[in-house]
Structure 1
C-alpha cells in the first residue's frame, strides 16, 4: 500500500527581488496523487509582512487567494474557492506574492501530496432537479444529498444538460455531470460527461443503441435504468446487447418492478454476463423520495469522479437500503474486491455489519439461493468457499431488502 502522503517543508527567509515580486517553490505531482494541500505561515499583524499565496501547474496559474487563506487544496474535481479543479500530474509551483517584507520576515510553506487510497464512498446515481421534473433547484438537490451524508451525487435530469453547469464552490460533495436519456423505448443514465450526446431524440430502439455508443465514445459510464418500470416509455425495450456498463436493480422504494429487475439480473448472470448492479433513489420532489435510498456504497481507488465511475464499472459496489445502515465488505487484506475474478476453492470471507436480529443473509449462485444465515448480532463474518460460476450476497428483513452485493466471478 502506498504511503498516505508525501510532505515537503520549505522556509523562505530571503527575498532577492524585494517587495512587489514573486517567489516560486517547485514540486512535482505524479499520477498516484489524489489531492494537493498547501499551507503557509508568516509573521503578520505587528510584523507588517504581507505575503500572498497561489499555485501554478505547467507554467499556468491554477489559483490565487492573496493573503486571505493559510491553507488551500486542489483535487481533480474540486478545489478551494479561488482555485481551479482539474488534472493534477505535472510540474507545479507554490507562488508567493511578496507584497510587503516586515522585520525578520520568513515564510514557512508545507506542501502535502495526498496519495490515492482505496476508500469506501457512498452516493446517489439517479436523481432529478427542476431542470427536468425534479421540482427542486440544483443547489437544493446537492444540499439534500449532503444532508443524507453522501459523498457524491449524479443529477440525471431527463434529456437536458443545463444542470451540469450549475456547481457551487467547494460543496464538500462530488457532483457528477449526467443526463438520463429518456426515450419511448426506455431510460438510461450517462454519467461523467457534461454533454455526452449531441441530440437525445430517439425514434427507434436502434436510435437508443446508437446514442449509447455515442455517449460511450465521449467517455460516459452508462447505466440502464428501471428496466421493468410499468410505463410505455420507462420499460426497457432496446435489448441487452447494447453498449452499457451497469444495470439498476433497485429504483426508489422496493416494488414489483425491482423484484422483476433483480430476477432478470440473476438470469443475465446465469447466462454468463458480468453486469455490475447499481441503485438509485430516482428522487423527484413529487414522489417524496430521499437521496441515498437506496445508496451505492462503493470501493473507490481515489476521491474523484473518474475513480467513482471506475468502481461502478468494475462492480465494486454494494447497493444498500440507506447510506449508513446494513453493509457488506470483503473481509481481510487478501480477499478480492466485489466484482473480481477468483479461483475455484478460494475462500471469500465477507463481513456484514449494521444488521438487526432476524436479518437473513442469503448466498446466491447460478444455482439460486444455496444458503442462508440468520443474524443474531449486529455484525459477523460469513466465510464462503467459492465454487461454480459466481457468488453474491443479499440481506433481507422479511420481505424488505437491505442490501445486494455485486458478485465474485470465476476466473
Structure 2
C-alpha cells in the first residue's frame, strides 16, 4: 500500500490521516519512508485499538520500521505485541511551514523477522550496584535514529570510553524503545521539536506521546505545548527548556513562545559547547535567566547537554548525587537539583550548613561552608541573589556565607575566556512566592537584541 501527497506550505499546521485494513492473522507490518522532507514532520502508526505503535518523523536517517508480535524483531521507536485486525491509521503532523512531496509504503506480512542484535529494553525500573556518590550523565544527544551522525553502536563506545554513568536519549520527537546492551541506566526521553522556535527535553517518559492528538490546526502553539506538558507531568516526567537564547544569523533555536514558567523543571544553561559555531554568549544569557528566575522564587534547576549531532558526547556532563544507583533515583535527584554541571570532569564538592552535610538543591538556614576542588584552574564566582559577592582563582575555592530567608547561593567556575565550565546548582532559604508567570517576563529582560 502506497500513501503519498504534498504538504501545503500555506498552512502552518497540517494533519493528514490515512486508513488501511489489517487482516486476521497478521504478525508483521512494515512502514517505509520512501520519500519526504528531512524536517520535523511527525509520523505515527495507530492500531485498530487506538494504540500508537510507531512514533517517528521524516527528520531521521532510519527509513524502515517493523512492528511484529515479538520484541526482538520489532524496530526501535516501535511497540511490539498483538497485531489486532481492523482499521489502522497512518497519521502525519506537519507542525510548521514545510512544502514537500511525501510517500510512505505499508506492507502487511506474515512470518516474524527475527533480528538478533545486542540491544536491551529501555525501562524506568532498573537498579544497579551502588559504586560511588556522584554519577555523571548526558542529558541531550542525538543519533542516526533522528538527525545525528553517530550510530547507536558507536554511541555505546563513546559512553564506555568516557565513563558516562547514565544517559537520557533525546531523539527529536521519538522515544527509543531499545538501546545497546549497556549495564547502565538509560532513561526514556525525547526532544520535543515542533519547530525552531522552542525546543524542550522531556525526561522520564513512560509511554509514547502522539503529538497528533495534542495539536489542532488553528490553535496557538502555547496552547498545544500546555497540553503536551500536562501529559508529560501525568506520566511522571519532567520538562527542560533547551538552549533558550541560541539565536544567530544562521539559525534561531531560542524560545519564542510565551509559556507558563510553572511548567518548567529545568533550564539548559550550557548547550553544545564543542560545536563549530559555538558562542558562549548564549549560555551566559541562560545563566542570567536562571538567576532572574531564582531571585523571583522559582526553583528551576540548571542542566546541560552536548546536544551532539556528530560524534562528541559527554561535554558537558551532569553530575548527580545518588543514594541509590537507579533510574528512579536519578530522576528524583535531578528534580531536586542535587546536581552540578562540569566541562572539566568530576570536582570534589563539600557543603555544610551549621556542621551538617548538604548538597546542591537543598534548603538551608544560617551559615554555609562550601569547599570546591577542580583538576583545572578556573575563575570562581560566588553568586547570591543574582549578585557576585566573592571571586577567586585557582583549582580550589573555600567560602563561608550566611544564607538568610529569601536568599539563594550558587557557585560558578569560568575559564580565562569567561566561558562557563562548572555550574553548581543553588542552595536556598525560604524563597518568596514567584511573581513572574510567563517566559516573556524573563526573555524581554534578558534578551536584548
**TM superposition score normalised by structure 2:** 0.60
2:179 is paired with a residue whose SS is coil
Residue aligning to 1:307: 329
For 1:307-344, what per-residue CA distance to the aligned partner results, in whole angstroms no more than 9, with x for missing partners? 111111000110111434x454425972221111111x
Residue among 158, 178, 187 paired with 1:144: 158
Matched, 1:180 2:191: yes
Q: Is the 8 A contact 1:336 1:348 kept in 2?
A: no
Residue aligning to 2:351: 330
Residue among 420, 424, 427 paired with 1:405: 424
By how many angstroms is 1:235 displaced? 2.9
Q: 1:197 to 1:303 in 2, by over 3 A?
A: same
Larger Rg: 1
Matched, 1:195 2:190: no
Residue among 364, 375, 379 paired with 2:396: 379
Matched, 1:222 2:236: no
By how many angstroms is 1:219 displaced? 1.9
By how many angstroms is 1:82 displaced? 11
By how many angstroms is 1:142 displaced? 2.8
Q: 1:313 to 1:85 in 2, by over 3 A?
A: closer
Q: 1:87 to 1:309 in 2, by over 3 A?
A: closer
By how many angstroms is 1:236 displaced? 4.4
* Alpha-carbon distance in 1 for matches of 2:307, 2:126: 33
By how many angstroms is 1:379 displaced? 3.4
By how many angstroms is 1:384 displaced? 2.4
* Alpha-carbon distance in 2 for matches of 1:309, 1:192: 7
Residue aligning to 2:413: 395
Residue aligning to 2:291: 266
For 1:246-290, what per-residue CA distance to the aligned partner results, in whole angstroms no more than 9, with x for missing partners? 1111111162211111111111111111111101000111xx6x2
* Alpha-carbon distance in 2 for matches of 1:118, 1:155: 23
* Alpha-carbon distance in 1 for matches of 2:126, 2:150: 34
1:341 is paired with a residue whose SS is coil
Q: Is the 8 A contact 1:335 1:349 kept in 2?
A: no
By how many angstroms is 1:186 displaced? 0.7
Residue aligning to 1:43: none
Matched, 1:350 2:375: no
Q: 1:273 to 1:118 in 2, by over 3 A?
A: farther
Matched, 1:275 2:300: yes
By how many angstroms is 1:85 displaced? 7.7
Matched, 1:244 2:264: yes
* Alpha-carbon distance in 2 for matches of 1:210, 1:320: 34
For 1:23-46, what per-residue CA distance to the aligned partner results, in whole angstroms no more than 9, with x for missing partners? xxxxxxxxxxxxxxxxxxxxxxxx
Q: Is the 8 A contact 1:123 1:323 kept in 2?
A: no
By how many angstroms is 1:133 displaced? 0.4
Matched, 1:133 2:150: no
Q: Is the 8 A contact 1:126 1:283 kept in 2?
A: yes
Runs of 5+ consecutive residues of structure 2 not aligned to the other structure: 1-118, 274-278, 431-449
Residue aligning to 1:361: 380
* Alpha-carbon distance in 2 for matches of 1:158, 1:193: 14
**TM superposition score normalised by structure 1:** 0.65
Q: 1:177 to 1:84 in 2, by over 3 A?
A: closer
Q: 1:236 to 1:355 in 2, by over 3 A?
A: farther
Question: Runs ≥4 in structure 1, deviation > 6 angstroms?
Answer: 81-86
Q: Is the 8 A contact 1:196 1:215 kept in 2?
A: no
